[in-house]
Amino acid sequence: MGVIELTDATWDEEVKGSDVPVLIDFWAPWCGPCRMIAPILEDLAEEHGDALKVGKLNVDEHSERARSFNVTSIPFCIVVKDGEVVAEMTGAHPRSKFDEVLAQIL
Amino acid sequence: MSTSDDVRNVTIIGSGPGGLTAAIYTARATLEPLVIEGEPSSTSDQPGGQLMLTTDVENFPGFPDGITGPELMAGFRAQAVRFGAEILTAKVSRVDLTTWPFELWVGTTDGDPTYRSRSVIVATGASSLMLGLPAEQRLLGHGLSTCATCDGFFFRDQDICVVGGGDSALEEALFLSRFARTVTVIHRRDTLRASKIMQARAFDNPKIEFLWNTVVADLLGEERLTAVITADVATGEQTTRPFTGIFVAIGHRPNTGLFAGQLELHDNGYLRTFDDRSHTSVEGVFACGDVQDDWYRQAITAAGSGCMAAIDAERWLEAKGH
């Protein structure tokens, strides 16, 4: 399915209205650690296919949503399932950490 | 030169300017280096090293207009890959330097080693020190940040602080002043360690203030940082200051944990190299970059020492008949 670009405008439809869990990465182009985890998110989107939606939200362009989560550090990842936040990860983490978090949810 | 499938000629641990320069040189020498680059994290111990958390690099020669840290490191990496370096995104979990070829484990530390290598270049760098306050865990990512470049944007029009008195602290303060209303530099001494040019810029910046002879005693706030309690070094007197952001730049610790008991260290914990070269206390193991440099700690000196380690490793392997 690939990684979807989320915006403040598409959030409700793509995240809240999703039938499957959504992993969201809050990122910005100037953030080095965000670049480090970008390939992990792409791999996860590929490998989990229809079981997981993976999206990224550029906090520079869409700050409203970031503010609503009290985000003051990026990368910041959350997993939303049935409209609820079920996991949060602050900072960059290795692939194994993502696998561990997703294993509890999927 | 001979290569076999299960014994590498050169394994480089770490991928900052030191490790990747060693990779470029050993790759061009057709030694087919393996670079075990580390794993993503936001602690300054990560692929690309400390520059991944910095903004404009203005003192790396060849970039008259400056370049961002992540861009510079992407360039180093691409250059190493172009000449055939193999890069593995993982952390070394254990090394055995008492046998030869040397043995390295990635992932589990039990069982057979993941790699065996005739030479090893240690380029594990240094990690940022934190304040060591219990509140740090709770507020990391909610007002406390380890990466000014990443997070400065979130502190637009706020009053925030930077702890430290070196170049890194002032670089962060100057960067953060683009966003914040005020940036207060909290320093435990009454003079700065930072370079003259950075001091001049910081003193000239109307948004930057200084709290001298002061340390951080505690951080307040449950969901988000709401205030910082500072203490006067001389009197111990505490003051609550309503900072909503805090950036810590109080120095570094060399990443030598993997080599405890196997490689000789200086008294201050940095890896010891010998004879003005890159040799460590174990023949065939070389070191470069900040893990062995407590004095210069620059991207360019790390890169220079990476070149030294590569040439030393190449000559050593040649003398060994490989």
Structure tokens at B250: 């109080």
Q: What value does the mean pLDDT take over residues B146-159? A: 90
Share of chain A above pLDDT 90, in %: 75
Look over chain B and give the mean of its residue pLDDT values, rounded to a whole number: 94
Contacts of A95-103 with CB under 8 Å at 24 or more apart are: A95/A40, A95/A43, A95/B39, A95/B89, A96/B39, A98/A23, A98/A40, A98/A44, A102/A21, A102/A23, A102/A44, A102/A48, A102/A52
Which of the following is catalytic: B45, B151, B167, B290?
B151
A54 C-beta neighbours (distance < 10 Å), count: 23
Sheet of strand A22-27, all strands in order from the earlier edge strand to the far edge = A3-6, A53-58, A22-27, A76-81, A84-90
pLDDT of B147 reads: 85
DSSP bridge pairs for A14: none
| Known catalytic membership, residue A34 | yes
B146 — pLDDT class (breaks 50, 70, 90): confident
Residue with token string 């930077």:
B162
Q: What digits encode the pLDDT tens for the residues A37-86?
A: 999 999 999 999 999 999 999 998 888 888 888 788 899 999 999 999 99
Least confident piece of the model among B91-95, B114-118, B136-140: B136-140
In chain A, whose CA is at the least distance from the CA of B41? A92
pLDDT at A13 over 60: yes
Q: What value does the mean pLDDT take over residues B109-131? A: 95
pLDDT of B2 reads: 40
B3 C-beta neighbours (distance < 10 Å), count: 12
Structure tokens at B13: 């641990």
pLDDT at A99 over 60: yes
Which of the following is catalytic: B56, B96, B147, B294?
B147
**Cα separation of A89 and B316, whole Å?**
45
Structure tokens at A84: 């609820």
Give yes or no for a contact between B88 and B71, defined as CB atoms under 8 angstroms apart: no
**Cα separation of B42 and A29, whole Å?**
16
B6 — pLDDT class (breaks 50, 70, 90): confident
Q: Where are the alpha helices (DSSP H) in chain A?
A: 11, 32-48, 63-68, 95-103
pLDDT of A70 reads: 78
pLDDT of B5 reads: 56
3-state secondary structure of B65: coil
pLDDT of B3 reads: 40
Mutation choice for A interface testing from B15, B67, B147, B175 by most A CBs within 10 A: B147
Q: What digits encode the pLDDT tens for the residues B61-115?
A: 999 999 989 999 999 999 999 999 999 999 999 999 999 999 999 988 999 999 9
Measured between CB atoms, does A29 come within 8 Å of chain B? no
| Known catalytic membership, residue A77 | no
Q: What digits encode the pLDDT tens for the residues B261-320?
A: 999 999 999 999 999 999 999 999 999 999 999 989 899 999 999 999 999 999 999 999
Give yes or no for a contact between A52 and A44, defined as CB atoms under 8 angstroms apart: yes
pLDDT of B42 reads: 75
Share of chain B above pLDDT 90, in %: 82
Complex confidence, ipTM: 0.76
Q: What value does the mean pLDDT take over residues B150-162? A: 94
Q: Show the beta-strand stretches assigned E in B86-225.
A: 86-88, 92-96, 102-106, 115-122, 126-128, 144-145, 159-163, 182-186, 208-211, 214-220
In chain B, whose CA is at the least distance from the CA of A91? B42
Measured between CB atoms, does A44 come within 8 Å of chain B? no
**Cα separation of A14 and A23, whole Å?**
11
